[in-house]
Amino acid sequence: MFSLKYFNLNLKFLIFRSKFETIYIVKIEEIESGGETKISIKMADLDWGASVDEQEQKLTAKVDNLKITKPETVNGAGSAASGEPKSSPDPGGAAEGGPEDAGNTKEDESLLRKLIHSKLISSKANLEVLQKDPNSPLYSVKTFEALNLKKELLEGVYKMGFTAPSKIQETALPTLLADPPVNMIAQSQSGTGKTAAFVLTMLSRVDISKNYPQCLCLAPTYELALQIGQNVEQMGQKMTGLRIGYAVRGERVSRGQRKDDHIIIGTPGTVCDWAIKHKCFDPKLLTVFVLDEADVMIATQGHQDQSIRLQRMLNKQSCQMLLFSATYDDQVMIFAQAVIPRSPIVIKLRREEESLDNIKQFYIECTDVEAKFQALSNIYGTISIGQSMIFCATRKTAAWLAEMMTKDGHVVGLLTGELTIEQRAAIINRFKEGKEKVLITTNVTARGIDVEQVTVVVNFDPPLTQDFQPDYETYLHRIGRTGRFGKSGLAINMVDGRRSLSTLKSIEKHFGRKIMKLDADDMDEIEKIAV
Ligand SMILES: Nc1ncnc2c1ncn2[C@@H]1O[C@H](COP(=O)(O)OP(=O)(O)OP(=O)(O)O)[C@@H](O)[C@H]1O
């Protein structure tokens, strides 16, 4: 027993690591209050996997449990103070809305992007190779045949419908498949072909005649691990006898049970459990170690520690170590350098810059939310609009607008934060397939989602940050176009009070691009804005 002067942490377990890398888990059993807090600490009879499962479950908890604490509408919050008309369609005035991304985790966003990327995103940006090994000159390939893949693997690649390597694959694959193996850190935005690149690497290095794990891939969540597994299963479909193991929550193993899967894909906690606690496989025998979604992984300290712990158990001479990330900042790089030692090759494909060039921007001044809808209705009734996205500040506004537009005869999709990731992906995919012409969504539920064919974007409410400041980045991302998406576009901003007008004026000033006023009652004027 020992006492602490101040103890207000709600801890149940403490984890210590000795200098010999042994992990000790102790359980805090009693907490008494009254003057001085006393706790008793015992060696825990704890299944590390169970606690990791719990952690992973929390991480992957969907937005179902989202508790909205912000005011009903962002503009409404300001309006009330400034005496402006309330922009909420909520007649009862129940405070419910607010920026919708409060519960959007990086894991959620990552999974959503994976689910909606049914095809490759092409990029015109240049590939940068930041660190080169002078002993292994880089070259690139334009075909999969040039990689000398095993016949059945090449067949698997073609079965997936791939005809030629993507931009990042062109340069990464020859290095990834080279002998002796080279370590690599690669960054490129979601959908550019990273997963396919490392899956191909694992499959080409695996020896099916050996019945033990040879490749290990770590992912931040259960769902992301399963997505990678699907890629392995598809690409390896012609490799008879290939076995894939999933070290994810719920996949229990007993101590000493030897795994004979060739490839293990899992989350760091459960993989640690399999490798260290239950000794189901020998990390020293791995020939490929992949850490995917590093930018998502670093958001959880436990994942970082577990990944590094696993990496330390590898045979540095014979195991190829690879790290992939969709973003590339200092934090990712610090982690990357720690987990991928021995001068890795660093490949980076920048995201294409978005710009407001050739985007016609307008704003419409309205008195209240009904007037906004009326203005919108005039526009949709006057010009022919291909596919459009409408962004609202709250779920309630979005739902109300969807109902109003549906009554007005539009085929509308509604994408809001209370949906599961799978439901959101299904809605986005329907929209991408053209099943709906209008997609109404909340502030950032659709963050990072590119729908190429959208030509008209409506900000039913101007974008604001969590602290109610103009959100320039979100504005650019909603409205801006990249080279690959073509050049023309139309942005319509609805304002209904001094505050939203001032937000828009700040956005105009920030980008130095004129946002013209449009009279939504003047049909002749509306006709002229058509793209
Ligand atoms: N060479 C290729 N040719 C055609 N399609 C490809 C090619 N490589 C990958 N794809 C497809 O493009 C989509 C995105 O690929 P992939 O999942 O590998 O990208 P990613 O960069 O790993 O994205 P994320 O970070 O979201 O996982 C997938 O549907 C994949 O099947």
Helix, strand or coil for residue 433? coil
State the average pLDDT over residues 381-393: 89
State the average pLDDT over residues 272-286: 94
* Residue 493, strand partner residues: 363, 459
401 neighbors 458 (Cβ within 8 angstroms):
no
Pocket of ligand 1 (CB under 6 A): 113-114, 117-120, 160, 162, 165-166, 169, 188, 190-196, 326
Tell me the CA–centroid distance for residue 54 and ligand 1, in Å.
30
List % helix, strand, coil for the chain (3-state, nearest 5): 35, 20, 45
Tell me the CA–centroid distance for residue 228 and ligand 1, in Å.
11
Comparing CA positions, the residue from 359, 337, 323, 304 lying closest to residue 491 is: 359
Higher model confidence: residue 361 or residue 139?
361
Q: Ligand 1 pocket check: which of 192, 201, 292, 332 to mutate, most ligand atoms within 8 Å of Cβ? A: 192
State the average pLDDT over residues 418-423: 82
Starting at the earlier edge strand, list the strands of the sheet with 23-32.
Answer: 2-4, 37-43, 23-32, 13-17
For 57-93, how does the pLDDT look when each residue is reduced to its tens digit (9 = 90+)? 443 333 233 232 222 333 333 232 333 333 445 433 3
d(CA 361, CA 529): 9
Under the banding of pLDDT at 50, 70 and 90, the label for residue 214 is: very high
* Ligand 1 atom closest to Cα of residue 192: 21
Higher model confidence: residue 206 or residue 465?
206
Q: Ligand 1 pocket check: which of 149, 158, 166, 265 to mutate, most ligand atoms within 8 Å of Cβ? A: 166
Tell me the CA–centroid distance for residue 370 and ligand 1, in Å.
43
Q: Which amino acid is at 374?
A: Q
Q: Which amino acid is at 390?
A: I
Under the banding of pLDDT at 50, 70 and 90, the label for residue 218 is: very high
| Residue 377 in this model has a pLDDT that exceeds 80 | yes
Tell me the CA–centroid distance for residue 269 and ligand 1, in Å.
26
Alpha carbon nearest to ligand 1 atom 24, residue: 190
For 247-272, how does the pLDDT look when each residue is reduced to its tens digit (9 = 90+)? 998 888 877 789 999 999 999 999 99
| Residue 145 in this model has a pLDDT that exceeds 70 | yes
Under the banding of pLDDT at 50, 70 and 90, the label for residue 165 is: very high
pLDDT the model gives residue 1? 36
| ipTM for the whole complex | 0.98
Tell me the CA–centroid distance for residue 172 and ligand 1, in Å.
14
d(CA 163, CA 166): 9
Q: Which amino acid is at 371?
A: A
* Ligand 1 atom closest to Cα of residue 168: 21
Interior angle at CA 263, CA 258 and CA 267, nearest 5:
85
The two most distant CA atoms of the chain are separated, in Å, by 82
Tell me the CA–centroid distance for residue 475 and ligand 1, in Å.
27
Side-chain-side CA neighbours of residue 473 (13 Å): 6
Tokens 């409060």 map to which residue? 102
Q: Ligand 1 pocket check: which of 112, 145, 173, 194 to mutate, most ligand atoms within 8 Å of Cβ? A: 194
Alpha carbon nearest to ligand 1 atom 31, residue: 119
* Ligand 1 atom closest to Cα of residue 197: 18
Token pair for 397: 């506004």
Comparing CA positions, the residue from 186, 131, 478, 173 lying closest to residue 350 is: 186
Tell me the CA–centroid distance for residue 401 and ligand 1, in Å.
35
Side-chain-side CA neighbours of residue 88 (13 Å): 22
Q: What domains lie within the chain, and their CATH numbers?
A: 3-45 (no CATH), 107-349 (3.40.50.300), 356-529 (3.40.50.300)
For 336-356, how does the pLDDT look when each residue is reduced to its tens digit (9 = 90+)? 988 898 779 999 987 777 788
pTM above 0.80, yes or no: no
Tell me the CA–centroid distance for residue 193 and ligand 1, in Å.
4
Tell me the CA–centroid distance for residue 513 and ligand 1, in Å.
35
| Residue 229 in this model has a pLDDT that exceeds 60 | yes
d(CA 462, CA 493): 7
Alpha carbon nearest to ligand 1 atom 12, residue: 120
Alpha carbon nearest to ligand 1 atom 2, residue: 162
Tell me the CA–centroid distance for residue 294 and ligand 1, in Å.
17
